[in-house]
Structures are given as structure tokens and as C-alpha cells.
Chains A and B, each alone.
Chain A
Amino acid sequence: MKVTRRDLLVWSAGATAGLLFTPVPWKLLDDVSIWSQNWPWIPQPTRGPVDVKLSFCTLCPNGCGMRVRMAGGWPVGVAGAGCHPVSRGALCPLGFAAHQLNWHPRRLSRVCYRGNTSSWGEARVAFTKACGEGPIMIIDGHPGRAASSAFETFVQRRGSYRVVPGQETRALAPYGTWSGIPAAALGYDLENAGTIVSFGAPLLDGWGTPGRLTRLWAERAAGLADPQLHLIQVEPSFSRTAARAWQYVTIRAGGEGAVAEGVARVLLEEHLVPARGPMPSLTLVEVAEQAGVSTDAIRDLARTIVARPPVVAVADDNNPAIAALNVVLGAVGARGGIVRRSKHIRQDVCAEAAIRGMRAVLIDSTVPWDFVPQTDAEVFRFAAWDGGSTKADWLLPAPGFLEDLTDVPTAPTSGMETYAVAPSLAEAPTEVQSAAQFLSSIDPTLVTVDKVIHTRCSEIFRQRMGTLWGQDVTPVAKFVSVQKLEEELWKGAVWIGEPHHAGGLRCQLNDWPEAIGPARTSNASPPWLVPVLPSLASKLYQESGLRESPEGRSA
């Protein structure tokens, strides 16, 4: 039989119709659909058992409590830990993306010597040589950690140990000078304050332990017709804190000290406070001129702040005039004011930018990137992220977020003494080393971080003071063994010391302090210490226009 074209056509048509009744075309359609819904090149999250661990944020010295969601052995999400009695479940915005920081494009992953790739071995040789040749200096950004102890031990016979205090610690310096108590042992008893006058401090924008004040403000001030907490912001720019403050006083840039003097003068002249201290040198007219506000406004401000005691003034940085105002207000060593929270703290020496007579300087990764030493010494700088140009000879890659075991001493502004342990949750890249590990490799007899942590836990156990805040709140006295206590701390509990001793701090003003230099220009961005923001944060802030990215920090 001859096959005609017609036969072929009929056969094709029949086959097509028949095929439609088989599952083949529909299955194919479905497969195409599924294929077009799942491109193989789209990154997929790694799956794995999900687990939640308690830890602490180590991006700044405040050590907020975090709940870290882990999947497949990696941190995949961060949230605040409500059991932390200071941060109380809140984190600053950066914390929520901090686990992504370890993959930041500016993460340091190799040893660099003057811009060229080098090795840990060479760095060790160079540092050992420097140690043998002359004095060295170690500079620490978060003093009081176990690593800080190791640093101090290392330099005992080899040189000196210096710290770079944060803005918040610097603001407490005048009280330290006047009372003889180290500023690092002082804090604010904000929980008991009735009025907080902030001179440009970004109180609602990451100041101190970020969650502490925002939680307090939210409970006692926000949206209340008659707030129990008056938050007064004196600031040149209409900052986030100014926008939400109970009262906002706009001043000329650098006029914070003058306003403090003016307020103190009114308080003393009108006997609004019991103090009879020295009268400020500036007259009200001079204050008005310097600060760009009317004399009436200053009088009003003085009367307003004493309306709801206790009152405490908070400075943005070291400003003796504002500290003196606190003395006039009777806020030093008083409930709701500046308090002494710890008894045994050594006075640390602050690092000067100009360093002389040193053979080498080792800068820990906790030191803010904007601290650049002026020195002819050989500089060994540890850092997890590249913050831009640096004068360091050696750039040494340090562990990033949650990649290293550390302990968390009391936060700089806290009114209570705290202690916590942040174990390493993420695997560090093989190329990184912390400063403490580096020093241990040079001096194997050097005490290690975990040993110091163990000693400190034993000390807490031995003193039988304070309470442990974890899943439950347990007094230390209830613990039967140091192992049990240590176990709890390693699992994310926080130790809280005995309540502060309000009376332990006295400041006497004989003369009104000299104004020191012009105050820093008001800082619109919060005092974030990481040299780079998580990429997500930079992008979201850029895309929302909510904040300007901190200048020069994330390019």
C-alpha cells in the first residue's frame, strides 16, 4: 500500500489528538512549569536542624543578649534575648544582620604586611623580634575582657597596656577625675531617674546598651500624656532622639557646655537645688549668646528639669561642664543619677594618638577603626573587617562575629555589674586568629581566654554574690558547684552583681571646671563601632533613606 501525503496528515492529526488523552503532554507542561519556577542558579539556604542558642553581641562593649538561630551549624538569624536584664530583648538595628557580617566583602582573610600578602609565621617572627628589641604597647578597645587580662599579662615585663574608651565612658571621665574612682566603675541609674537631660547624647538611637533606654522610654514615657520619665534633648540638630523627646531644646552647635553652665547658674541663683556650689563663670547673657538660645529659655529649662526629680544630665562625650551640672543637681552618687556599680576595677590608662618610644604597637580588633596611632613604632593591627586606609604595618585578620570565645564584662553605661560568656558559635575561617591566640603562640605560657573565664567564674562562685539570669533567675548562693555555674554562663546566662552603692561616689566641686575645647559636632549617626555595616544594613539604610551610612565606614 502506498502512503500518500494525505495519509500522513491524517495520521499526524490522529496522533496529536490521541496524545492529548495521555498524561505525557500534561506531565511535560507541569515539568516545564516547575522548571521555570526554580532556577538552579538561585542561591538556596542550607537546610539543617534548627536550634536556638543564647549568646551576646560582641560588636560593641555593651554585649546585648541575643538569641541566635542556628541551622546546619551556622547562625542564620539573630533576635534579642528577653532574659538579659540590661538589654531586655532589644538589639540595635545592626545586631539583626550581624551574623551576615562575616561574609562582608571587606572581611579580612589574609595577613597583610604593608599592603602585600604575608603569613602568620612572618608576622610572628616580626613581633617576636620586636618584643626582644624594645618596649611594646597593646591597645584594647573593650577593656575588662578575659583577652584584656591576657594582654596585660603579656605586656607586664614587655611594655604597656592602653585602652581606647568609647564616647560613653569618656562622658563619665570627669567624675572619675573628681572622685578618684575609675570611670569604668561608674554608670547611670537611669531606671530610677525622673528626668533625663541629654546634651546631644543619642539616647534613643543606640546610646549605651541600646535596648535599655528604649525599653525604659517605651514603658515610662512614650505616648503617655503625663510621662513618668521626662526626656529632654538639648541638641543642635533635630535628631531621632530629639524628634521623640518629651522636650527638645535647639541650640547652636558646640553650645552644650554653655547651656549646662546656664542651667546650673539658674538652679543656684533661684535655689532650685540644695547645692551651694561654685557659681559658673558664664553669665546668662553670655550663655544665651554662645548657645543661641534666649535667657528665658534657659530659665525655663532649669525650672522644667527639676520639676520631676531625680534628674540626671547625660553628656555625649567628655564635657566637664555637664558633669558639674550633675554635681549641682546632686545627681552624682545618688539614686537615679551617676552611680558606682563596681568596687574592684583598676584604672586603665587611655591611649593617646601620639605614641613614642615604642618598638611595636599591637592594636586589638576591638579598637574602633578611627583610632589611628601617630607613631614610628611597628604597628600590628588586628581587624575582622577592613575599615579603609590605615597606617598599620601589619594587618592581621581577626575572628568576626561570634567566631571567637570571649566574655562580656559590664557595659560602659550600666548601673549594675554584669558578667557573661559569649562562646564561639560560628566556625572561623582558617586564616584568622585573635590577638590573644597570636600572643599565646608567641608566649605559650600566656594565660588563655578560657582559663581566665574559668578563674572569673570561680571568683563569682567563691564570693557567692549576685544572681544568674538565664532561663530562670537563680542566686549565685544557690549553686552547689562552680561547674554548674560555669555551665549556665556558657549557655548564655548573665550574672548580675549586687545592687549598686549609691553612696559610694562623692564629687566635690571647688571651682567651676574650665571648659575643655569645643564639643564634638553633633553626631547624627549612632556610635556604632564596627568599621563596616552589614551589607544588608547599608543597603536598607540607603534604600529607605532612613539614615545616612556612617561616613567612611561603609563605602
Chain B
Amino acid sequence: MASSVLADSRWIARGAERTSLPQFLLWLAPWAVVLAAGVYAAGLCLFYGLNQTNMDNRFAFGLWIFLDLGMIALGAGAFFTGFLVYILKRVELKPILNSAVVVGFICYSGAIAILMIDVGQPLRAWFTFWHPNTHSMLTEVTFCISCYLLVLSLEYLPILLRNRQLRKLPSFLVFEHQLHNLVPVLAGVGALLSFFHQGSLGGLYGVLRGRPFAFREGFFIWPSTFFLFILSAIASGPSFLILVTAAVEKVTGRRLVPQELFRRLGFISGVLLAIYVAAKSIDTLIWLNVTSPSVGFAPWQYYIYKPFGTPILFTEIVLLGLLPAFLLTYPRSASRRRWLLTAAALACAGVLLNRFVLTVQTLALPTLAFDEFLQYTPSWQEAASFGGVIAYGVIVYSLSYRYLPLFAQPKGQNTHVPGN
């Protein structure tokens, strides 16, 4: 037993204090159970087909698409932080960069895993590269997401290779060094790819001419949701990083980054959120007054079906948009950790609500005069796969935190905070 603990400590970075291996395994155990359930559920869906879900011909997209859109939005912190650090030279954000890359990697790989279960013929997924329809937003999404996952993997690799044991291999060290030199380029490529797929995910719904609730006019070939999705993703990404880091701090009982960094991220998030809220409000007004009436759909009818009333619109824009934007930028609230975290959580909830409304309400609303409003409840298989992805994220992050230098900072700061 003791030797196994010793064996484990050889892998942990020098000077880093980590909990004992049994305690760490105890922490992983429940997540592993959730992951196993998720893998089992996903296996059912792959083996028996999508009849295992509660999706149907009207609700052709369900929980999983919402999950994909939400995760990819929250994972935007990775590309955006890289962009800020390497392109805009905001080096003060560097301590959080590694963590951001891991979060991004988890979000994107999780999203792609779920997508592979979600399509009816996963073995044909590569047909998109073989016979791409260049007019489809989904083609753009598929190309950019898969390329960006590759970029994220390349960004993750140097972090992985900096593990204490792996560093001992000289060729790995050289490779890591080479990769490290490449990172600014990767950050640039990642930013470009992310810009397009975040936008295309928004465009996915914005182009749906047949769904007036989602359809938006736009600029050139891109509907307004294209830009709104980019904005909301980069606004909520930093907030999500704050939340993740704070959660890790809570779990490990350590201060991992300077409080100032939180405030910096929060400010960026808040400013972008404010811009997003303004843009979203203008877009909503144009949509309600021009776009939707022009195809003969009275705006009120989108909101007559409960629970999708106007309160949901108010919540999305004001409670989960304007309010956190204010809290994140107003110095007095932003300087208090509790307020800052609350505001970050609200911002993330806002972007999730936006994705939920766009994916679920769009499909629930009737189009023909004699259609009815439909409801859908995910099956346990869908929920379990969802849970599995979250567990996968927690496990990958925990392993990365334990064995890799996620929060690289000067010695002495990575210390135990009494009473936390």
C-alpha cells in the first residue's frame, strides 16, 4: 500500500502538495460509477439505436444537442484565453491558460463523443469530409470542431509532457519544447477555428427558414445568431474558467491563482457580456418587429405556450445577462469573491439558457396552424450519457490537476489557505 502511494508521488510535480492516492481514488470512485453508467447508456444507444432516447420525429434534437451547444459555449474560455495571452499579449492571464486548455479539451472532446452517439449512423460521420455540403452550417461546425479538437490536443500535449516522469524522456522533452514554440501559432489557429464554429453553431439555428422562432436575418451569409453565439461564448468562457478554478480551489482547499486574476477575467467577461446583452436586445427587437412579422408569425404566439412565456426572455436578457454584466464590471461587487462567483455563475446560466431556448423551444413550437405544441422529456439513457460526459470531464480534470502543472505560478503561492 505504502509503496503504491510512493509510486504515485513520483508522478506528482516536485513541490506540489497533493492529497494521498487513496483519498484521490475515493474522490474519483463516484465519478467513475457515473461514467460507467454513461458508457453503458451510450452503448445501448449505439447497439439498439436511437429508439433508446425519447427524441422523436418532431423533437429530432434533444438534450444532447443542448449539451453540445452549452459545453462548446462554456469551453470557449480555452481559445479566448489563448487569444488574449498570445495574440493580445495579456500575459497576466497566463497562469490560468493551462487549466483553460484542459477545460476546453474536455468540453470539445465530450461534445464530439455525444455527437457520435447522437447521429443515427456514426460510421458514416466522416462522409461530411468526403461529400461536404459547403452551404451547410453543420459542415462548417463539423470541420471546425474536429480541427479545433486537434488543435486543443496539440495544446494539451505539452502540458501532458511536462509531467514529472514523462519529462525524463529526452525526446519527449525536445518534442514538448518544439510544441511549446508552436503554441502561439496554435492559439491563433484555434481562435480562428473557434470563431467560425461558435458562430456556425449559432448559424445552425439562425438559418432555419422553416422555424420562424429561430430564423434571423443577418450579414452576408451569416444570420445574426452567428455573431451572437461568438459573443456569448467568449463572454461566458472566462466566467466558466472562474467557476471551474473556484471549484477546484474549494475541493482542494488551495488558492491556485491570485484573486486579481479572477477580477481580471470577471471584468473581461462582464464587458463582453454587456456588449452581448446590447446586441442580443437589438437582435430580439429586430426579430420581433421585422423578421418574424415579415414571414407572418406574430411574436406573441411564441410565448403563449408554458413554460416558454416572456419571463424566460426576461430571465435570459436581464437576470442572466444584464445583472451579471453589471456585477462583474462594477468594482465593488467584482472585488468580493462571493459576488464575483455568483455573477460568473449567472453569466454561465445565461448562455446555457440561451442555448436551451434555441434548441428546445424552437422544436417545441408549432409551425402549421394545426400543429400542436410538443413536450419532450429525455430518457434515462440520454440523461446517463449526459452524466457520463460530466463525469468524464471531472475525471480528466482531476487527473490533469494531480499529475500536471495546471496552475503554473511562482513558488509559494500554491499554498494551503487556512480555513478554506
**B111-128 interface bits toward A, Cβ cutoff 8 Å, 1 = contact, 0 = none:** 000000000010110010
Q: Number of contact residues on B: which range applies?
A: under 10
Tell me the A16-58 residues at the B interface (CB within 8 Å): 29, 32-33, 36-37
Q: How far is the CA of A29 from the CA of B127 in the complex (A)?
A: 10
Chain A nearest CB from B118 CB (Å) reads: 17
Closest to A543 in B: B57
B370 is an interface residue with CB less than 8 A from chain A: no
User: Interface on B for A, CB 8 Å cutoff?
Assistant: 121, 123-124, 127, 130
Contacts of B130 in A (CB 8 A): 29, 33
- The 9 A-B pairs at the shortest CB distance, nearest first, are namely A36-B123, A36-B124, A36-B121, A33-B130, A33-B127, A37-B124, A29-B130, A33-B124, A32-B123
Closest to A29 in B: B130
Contacts of B127 in A (CB 8 A): 33
Q: How far is the CA of A92 from the CA of B105 in the complex (A)?
A: 59
Q: How far is the CA of A36 from the CA of B124 in the complex (A)?
A: 7
Contacts of A29 in B (CB 8 A): 130
Q: How far is the CA of A29 from the CA of B124 in the complex (A)?
A: 11
Closest to B171 in A: A5
Q: How far is the CA of A29 from the CA of B130 in the complex (A)?
A: 10
User: Interface on A for B, CB 8 Å cutoff?
Assistant: 29, 32-33, 36-37
Contacts of B121 in A (CB 8 A): 36
Chain A nearest CB from B368 CB (Å) reads: 15
Contacts of A33 in B (CB 8 A): 124, 127, 130
Chain A nearest CB from B244 CB (Å) reads: 38
Q: How far is the CA of A37 from the CA of B126 in the complex (A)?
A: 12
Chain A nearest CB from B57 CB (Å) reads: 10
Q: How far is the CA of A37 from the CA of B121 in the complex (A)?
A: 9
Q: How far is the CA of A64 from the CA of B124 in the complex (A)?
A: 46
Closest to B124 in A: A36
Q: List 9 A-B contacts (CB under 8 A).
A: A29-B130, A32-B123, A33-B124, A33-B127, A33-B130, A36-B121, A36-B123, A36-B124, A37-B124
Q: How far is the CA of A124 from the CA of B130 in the complex (A)?
A: 67
Q: How far is the CA of A36 from the CA of B125 in the complex (A)?
A: 10
Contacts of B124 in A (CB 8 A): 33, 36-37
Closest to B125 in A: A36
Chain B nearest CB from A33 CB (Å) reads: 7
Closest to B123 in A: A36
B121, B123, B127: most-surrounded residue (chain A CB, <10 A): B123
Q: How far is the CA of A542 from the CA of B289 in the complex (A)?
A: 41
Chain A nearest CB from B322 CB (Å) reads: 45
Closest to B121 in A: A36
Closest to B122 in A: A36
Q: How far is the CA of A32 from the CA of B130 in the complex (A)?
A: 12
Contacts of A32 in B (CB 8 A): 123
Q: How far is the CA of A29 from the CA of B123 in the complex (A)?
A: 12
Q: How far is the CA of A32 from the CA of B121 in the complex (A)?
A: 13
Chain A nearest CB from B120 CB (Å) reads: 12
Q: How far is the CA of A135 from the CA of B267 in the complex (A)?
A: 101
Contacts of B123 in A (CB 8 A): 32, 36
Q: How far is the CA of A29 from the CA of B131 in the complex (A)?
A: 13
Q: How far is the CA of A118 from the CA of B209 in the complex (A)?
A: 64
Closest to A37 in B: B124
Chain B nearest CB from A144 CB (Å) reads: 46
Closest to B57 in A: A543
Chain B nearest CB from A544 CB (Å) reads: 12
Q: How far is the CA of A458 from the CA of B223 in the complex (A)?
A: 78
Q: How far is the CA of A230 from the CA of B215 in the complex (A)?
A: 48
Q: How far is the CA of A443 from the CA of B127 in the complex (A)?
A: 68
Closest to B131 in A: A33
Contacts of A36 in B (CB 8 A): 121, 123-124
Chain B nearest CB from A442 CB (Å) reads: 51
Chain A nearest CB from B121 CB (Å) reads: 7
A33-B130, A36-B121 known; 4 new pairs, CB 8 Å cut-off, are: A32-B123, A33-B124, A33-B127, A36-B124
Q: How far is the CA of A33 from the CA of B127 in the complex (A)?
A: 8
Q: How far is the CA of A29 from the CA of B121 in the complex (A)?
A: 16
Q: How far is the CA of A36 from the CA of B127 in the complex (A)?
A: 11
Chain B nearest CB from A504 CB (Å) reads: 51
Closest to A30 in B: B130
Chain B nearest CB from A413 CB (Å) reads: 35
Chain A nearest CB from B59 CB (Å) reads: 16
Chain A nearest CB from B195 CB (Å) reads: 31
A29, A32, A36, A37: most-surrounded residue (chain B CB, <10 A): A36
Chain A nearest CB from B131 CB (Å) reads: 9
Q: How far is the CA of A37 from the CA of B131 in the complex (A)?
A: 14
Q: How far is the CA of A354 from the CA of B127 in the complex (A)?
A: 69
Chain A nearest CB from B17 CB (Å) reads: 38
Q: How far is the CA of A436 from the CA of B130 in the complex (A)?
A: 63
Q: How far is the CA of A267 from the CA of B80 in the complex (A)?
A: 88
Q: How far is the CA of A33 from the CA of B124 in the complex (A)?
A: 7
Q: How far is the CA of A199 from the CA of B123 in the complex (A)?
A: 59
Chain A nearest CB from B126 CB (Å) reads: 8
Chain B nearest CB from A5 CB (Å) reads: 9
Q: How far is the CA of A205 from the CA of B232 in the complex (A)?
A: 57
Chain B nearest CB from A551 CB (Å) reads: 26
Q: How far is the CA of A33 from the CA of B129 in the complex (A)?
A: 12
Chain A nearest CB from B370 CB (Å) reads: 13
Q: How far is the CA of A32 from the CA of B124 in the complex (A)?
A: 9
Chain B nearest CB from A185 CB (Å) reads: 47
Chain B nearest CB from A275 CB (Å) reads: 47
Chain A nearest CB from B15 CB (Å) reads: 34
Chain A nearest CB from B54 CB (Å) reads: 17
Closest to A35 in B: B123
Q: How far is the CA of A37 from the CA of B120 in the complex (A)?
A: 12
Contacts of A37 in B (CB 8 A): 124
Chain B nearest CB from A131 CB (Å) reads: 54
Q: How far is the CA of A266 from the CA of B27 in the complex (A)?
A: 90
Closest to B127 in A: A33
Chain A nearest CB from B132 CB (Å) reads: 14
Q: How far is the CA of A33 from the CA of B121 in the complex (A)?
A: 11
Chain A nearest CB from B385 CB (Å) reads: 22
